[in-house]
Chain A
């Protein structure tokens, strides 16, 4: 008896054409695969596709995609660094929450400062707190070999619950009808924004950070150290690379950028801290960083497209009255196809009989 067998064979070189055609083809397949879903909930798939494509063809849809892309961009750029050295930082979500918390604390501390002092301090505080939240698992891993996947993941819960504590407790808005949120920020605590949209200065910061991190990775001696460490920790040791110092540096920046993403959410969008300030941007950023192949510049378009996917989910709910869960399933299908097909850019699929 002979059975067909599928085998993967590593491509020796990755062609540019494939890195474009594979994602596009997988998008199309993802859309098609969602058709039965739309049928099942009684919606004409064509109408659904129109809603989704509308996100990317209308000004409102595009600006909103950019807006949603900002925290994704900041967090995913940050994640490129630890992932390069095989440090699995799953904690961008928690680092983001700590950044949002610290930025809010600054508003409570210096409510009457001029805008640039206040916003500047919020940014610094957001970066530092996010960074410190990243340093904890970094230190534990480098010094005591504590698995960073567990620590970063568990610290997410700690950070999210800590923010819940302050918005349900001491910082709750007395005039907020009991909702878990802080009072609205004064105008001097708001990041500059493009009038008529929700796009704020975080986008510019994200773009600058993407460029800086790209140069850092490609040209600096630390970028080289990251690459060597990612290859093999023993090789890094042999090369005289100080693993502790490198890990702390990387996690400070990575957590700091996630913290900035959190600062951008409270200071640019929501204008207060509240329960569930992020719907999981820190987790989505992990997928984005990998789809971008840990290239911070590639993370820019991927983040915006990902933002668009989130907006598309909203559009399906609002425009066609689909349930939240249905929209989630649609997003998940698209992601499944894109992430799943990514492997085909690096491997050839070979069918053999035997």
Chain B
């Protein structure tokens, strides 16, 4: 391995933001044909370092060498010219446009979007070679997150990326999709290209990396070779202390049904049923974990229960009462808490203050409102209490929500949703993108709520999470539940087969 050519060197990179040093003399080295894991907690400076490489940010100090030649990368365009491609965590795609339009966007050729056929063929060629199937004419908004990532990867490959930076790529993927991605990464490396894999997931980084560089608080901790990789060691390097990996789950007596879905059919965005004739029940004290590859109806399921999407037919019962056609606000009143997938755009609007976001779905209730006016004192008291109770790290209750880190934002959302003493909690990807500490905390909150007698429906792409939190595991495929297994009897292989659609177990 060390015999291979050094493709990229970043030396003593410093990047300051107002009030923080995001990168403090960070060194990074990448060899040809290498998969290099970049590991660290949220805010450790991984993305900043790669944004410097990709020309989005300018380093305040430090040097970058490609194949031994010093380079100045002033913009992503220059980075692309140097053979660097980056797939961001939040995709930079134009949603109303098609796949091919997005891939060609920003390129000089073709000058006018008139004849995209030739380019589409080239894209299809790349997609075939790397086994990344895509429909070039599909519009981005119709695609699942996994498919969107594929578009971003194809975009980078189309531009001739020799160094591919993937920022938290698996955070939007399911286990089979992750395996696919890993296969692709291996293929890239086999061709002598290099991949930088940004993550905070230890298992993944160990599974795939030739080397791993760990960052903490903007500084290098160390770079380890493949044979040195060990989960406990990496975790403590990353966090700076010992980390426990097991959750304590107590026995809870299961009560009466809280959520009953009966023959529910829901239409998707593409005007065909995204959920077909779905029937299941969740009882008090139960966590139902929904496993499945993204885009198999999970989103539509959570939206149908919470009222964000109308149901075409069937019944949704909450504590025995039919609510399938009720307004969202009525369902909130009836005790449905909802932790949606999109935190920034949906669950916690960034321009509101922390105090305002903490009453987002509860502002109509007493004592926050008397029907006409809002009671500012109560809203502020509520914020103070929740910030303390849920240990939300924030400069104050009047700070804009945009100043919160991902983990704290999720704490804020959970604090609000759980404080209403909900009957049912619908949680979509509750720990996606969170660091080790925040993940631990969020999971413990869901377990606590289960003990308090709520019913929980949790959608997650993290099979470990599903296995360790759920009482029942429901696997979705093609808008149907293809199997329901008690967590105690769950078999990972079997679940994987069901997720892929090759096994049914009623």
Residues on A lying within 8 angstroms of B by beta carbon are 12, 219-221, 223-224, 227-228, 230-232, 234-235, 237-242, 354
Q: Is B221 an interface residue (CB 8 A)?
A: no
Type the 1/0 row for B436-474, where 1 means its CB is closer than 8 Å to any CB of A: 000000000000000000000000000000000000000
Q: Is B74 an interface residue (CB 8 A)?
A: yes
Q: How far is the CA of A324 from the CA of B376 in the complex (A)?
A: 51
Question: Which one of A221, A235, A241 has the greatest number of beta carbons of chain B within 10 Å?
Answer: A235
Q: How far is the CA of A232 from the CA of B401 in the complex (A)?
A: 14
The 8 A-B residue pairs with the shortest CB-CB distance in the complex, in nearest-first order:
A240-B329, A231-B349, A240-B328, A235-B349, A234-B346, A239-B360, A231-B351, A221-B369
- Complex: chain B residue closest to A235, CB-CB: B349
Q: How far is the CA of A234 from the CA of B347 in the complex (A)?
A: 9
Given A224-B356, A224-B363; A238-B340 close (CB under 8 Å): yes
B342–A12 contact, CB under 8 A? Answer: no
Q: How far is the CA of A240 from the CA of B352 in the complex (A)?
A: 16
Q: Is B206 an interface residue (CB 8 A)?
A: no
Nearest-Cβ distance from residue B303 to partner chain A, whole angstroms: 10
B363–A221 contact, CB under 8 A? Answer: yes
Q: How far is the CA of A354 from the CA of B75 in the complex (A)?
A: 11
A354–B373 contact, CB under 8 A? Answer: no
Q: How far is the CA of A327 from the CA of B438 in the complex (A)?
A: 63
Additional A-B contact list (14), CB under 8 Å, known A12-B18, A235-B346, A235-B360: A220-B373, A221-B363, A221-B374, A234-B342, A235-B347, A235-B349, A238-B347, A239-B328, A239-B360, A239-B361, A240-B328, A240-B331, A241-B329, A354-B74
Given A221-B363, A224-B374; A240-B327 close (CB under 8 Å): yes
Q: How far is the CA of A231 from the CA of B376 in the complex (A)?
A: 20
A235–B328 contact, CB under 8 A? Answer: no
Type the 1/0 row for B327-355, where 1 means its CB is closer than 8 Å to any CB of A: 11111100000101010011111111000
Q: How far is the CA of A29 from the CA of B113 in the complex (A)?
A: 44
Q: How far is the CA of A224 from the CA of B349 in the complex (A)?
A: 12
> Interface size class for chain B?
20 to 34
Q: Is B372 an interface residue (CB 8 A)?
A: yes
Q: Is B308 an interface residue (CB 8 A)?
A: yes
Q: Is B364 an interface residue (CB 8 A)?
A: yes
Q: Is the interface of B mostly helix, strand, loop or mixed?
A: loop
B338–A221 contact, CB under 8 A? Answer: no
> What are 30 pairs between A and B in contact, CB < 8 Å?
A219-B373, A219-B376, A220-B372, A220-B373, A220-B374, A221-B364, A221-B369, A221-B372, A221-B373, A230-B351, A231-B350, A232-B346, A232-B349, A234-B345, A235-B346, A235-B347, A235-B348, A235-B360, A237-B328, A238-B308, A238-B328, A238-B346, A238-B347, A240-B328, A240-B329, A240-B330, A240-B361, A240-B364, A354-B58, A354-B74
Tell me which of B74, B328, B349 contacts A228 (CB under 8 A): B349
- Complex: chain A residue closest to B338, CB-CB: A238
Q: Chain B residues near A231 (CB, 8 Å)?
A: 349-352
Q: Chain B residues near A12 (CB, 8 Å)?
A: 18
Question: Which one of B329, B330, B338 has the greatest number of beta carbons of chain A within 10 Å?
Answer: B329
Q: How far is the CA of A239 from the CA of B371 in the complex (A)?
A: 16
Nearest-Cβ distance from residue A233 to partner chain B, whole angstroms: 10
Q: How far is the CA of A239 from the CA of B338 in the complex (A)?
A: 10
Q: Chain A residues near B376 (CB, 8 Å)?
A: 219
Question: Which one of A12, A230, A239, A241 has the greatest number of beta carbons of chain B within 10 Å?
Answer: A239
Q: Chain A residues near B364 (CB, 8 Å)?
A: 221, 240
Q: Chain A residues near B338 (CB, 8 Å)?
A: 238
Q: Chain A residues near B369 (CB, 8 Å)?
A: 221
Q: How far is the CA of A156 from the CA of B329 in the complex (A)?
A: 36
Type the 1/0 row for B24-41, where 1 means its CB is closer than 8 Å to any CB of A: 000000000000000000
Nearest-Cβ distance from residue B79 to partner chain A, whole angstroms: 15
Q: How far is the CA of A231 from the CA of B348 in the complex (A)?
A: 10
Given A231-B351, A232-B346; A238-B372 close (CB under 8 Å): no
- Complex: chain A residue closest to B376, CB-CB: A219
Tell me which of B327, B332, B346, B373 contacts A242 (CB under 8 A): B327
Nearest-Cβ distance from residue A216 to partner chain B, whole angstroms: 10
B58–A232 contact, CB under 8 A? Answer: no
Q: How far is the CA of A242 from the CA of B332 in the complex (A)?
A: 13
- Complex: chain B residue closest to A219, CB-CB: B373
Q: Chain B residues near A227 (CB, 8 Å)?
A: 351-352, 356
Q: How far is the CA of A240 from the CA of B332 in the complex (A)?
A: 8
Tell me which of A219, A238, A354 contacts B360 (CB under 8 A): A238
- Complex: chain A residue closest to B19, CB-CB: A12
Given A224-B374, A354-B58, A354-B74; A238-B363 close (CB under 8 Å): no
B373–A238 contact, CB under 8 A? Answer: no
Q: Chain B residues near A230 (CB, 8 Å)?
A: 351
Q: Chain B residues near A221 (CB, 8 Å)?
A: 363-364, 369, 371-374
Type the 1/0 row for B355-369, where 1 means its CB is closer than 8 Å to any CB of A: 010001101100001
Question: Which one of A12, A224, A232, A354 has the greatest number of beta carbons of chain B within 10 Å?
Answer: A224
Q: Chain B residues near A237 (CB, 8 Å)?
A: 308, 328
Question: Which one of A221, A227, A237 has the greatest number of beta carbons of chain B within 10 Å?
Answer: A221
Nearest-Cβ distance from residue B168 to partner chain A, whole angstroms: 23
Q: Chain B residues near A234 (CB, 8 Å)?
A: 342, 345-346
Nearest-Cβ distance from residue A8 to partner chain B, whole angstroms: 15
B329–A242 contact, CB under 8 A? Answer: yes
Q: Chain A residues near B347 (CB, 8 Å)?
A: 235, 238
Q: How far is the CA of A238 from the CA of B328 in the complex (A)?
A: 7
Q: Chain A residues near B350 (CB, 8 Å)?
A: 231
Nearest-Cβ distance from residue B326 to partner chain A, whole angstroms: 10
Q: Chain A residues near B371 (CB, 8 Å)?
A: 221
- Complex: chain B residue closest to A352, CB-CB: B58
Q: How far is the CA of A96 from the CA of B352 in the complex (A)?
A: 33
Q: How far is the CA of A1 from the CA of B259 in the complex (A)?
A: 66
Q: How far is the CA of A239 from the CA of B416 in the complex (A)?
A: 12
Q: How far is the CA of A234 from the CA of B374 in the complex (A)?
A: 22
- Complex: chain A residue closest to B345, CB-CB: A232
Q: How far is the CA of A235 from the CA of B347 in the complex (A)?
A: 6
Nearest-Cβ distance from residue B349 to partner chain A, whole angstroms: 4
Nearest-Cβ distance from residue A236 to partner chain B, whole angstroms: 9
Nearest-Cβ distance from residue B121 to partner chain A, whole angstroms: 35
Nearest-Cβ distance from residue B126 to partner chain A, whole angstroms: 34
A228–B329 contact, CB under 8 A? Answer: no
- Complex: chain B residue closest to A12, CB-CB: B18
Q: Chain A residues near B332 (CB, 8 Å)?
A: 240
Q: How far is the CA of A238 from the CA of B352 in the complex (A)?
A: 15
Q: How far is the CA of A237 from the CA of B332 in the complex (A)?
A: 12
Nearest-Cβ distance from residue B95 to partner chain A, whole angstroms: 13
Nearest-Cβ distance from residue B395 to partner chain A, whole angstroms: 11
Q: Chain B residues near A240 (CB, 8 Å)?
A: 327-332, 361, 364
Q: How far is the CA of A12 from the CA of B18 in the complex (A)?
A: 10
Nearest-Cβ distance from residue A208 to partner chain B, whole angstroms: 18
